Amino acid sequence: MATVHIPPALRKYTQGKEEVSVDGGNVRDLLGNLESNYPGIGERIVDDSGAVRRFVNVFVADEDIRFMDNLDTSVKDGDEVSIVPAIAGGR
């Protein structure tokens, strides 16, 4: 299983959990299983076409999946997956 770090804005779908363990041989499967385990979270990460939304970046082991194999990027047991949305506060 991989450990997925959940940003605060999406924790309402994970009952407040900061990180969750999810199966998946690649990012696509992992996000699918994440949605199965925590309904509603998937559409906040990927759009209707299945692509990762703008303003959201997904990193596997701190590497940007856009420059690996995108949603086909392989995920190994023990990998850390970070979902990093844009934030803009600061006043």
Partner 1 sequence: MTVSAQLQRTHFVVVGAGGLGCPALLGLSAAGARRFTIVDPDVVETSNLQRQVLYSVAQVGRAKADAAAWALRQRIPAIEVDAIVRALRPADASAFVAALPPESIVLECTDAPALKFALNDAGLEHGTPVVIGAALGLRGQCIAVRRGVACYRCIYESAPQDLPTCESAGVLGVAVGLAGFVMASAAVSLCDPQQAAETTGALLAFELGAGSMQTLRPRPRERCPACAAAQPSRFPPLQASA
- Contact between 51 and partner 1 by CB under 8 A: the answer reads no
Nearer to partner 1, 67 or 78 (CB): 67
CB 18, min distance to partner 1, A: 5
Interface of this chain with partner 1, residues 20 to 49, rule: CB under 8 A: none
Identify the residue among 47, 64, 69, 77 touching partner 1 (CB under 8 A): 64
Identify the residue among 3, 33, 37, 59 touching partner 1 (CB under 8 A): 59
User: Rounded to the nearest 5 degrees, what angle is found at the Cα of 41, between the Cα atoms of 67 and 48?
Assistant: 65
Distance separating alpha carbons of residues 43 and 7, to the nearest angstrom? 14
CB 42, min distance to partner 1, A: 18
Q: What dihedral do alpha carbons 62, 5, 3, 69 form, nearest 10°?
A: -40
For 9, phi then psi, to 5°, come to -65, -20
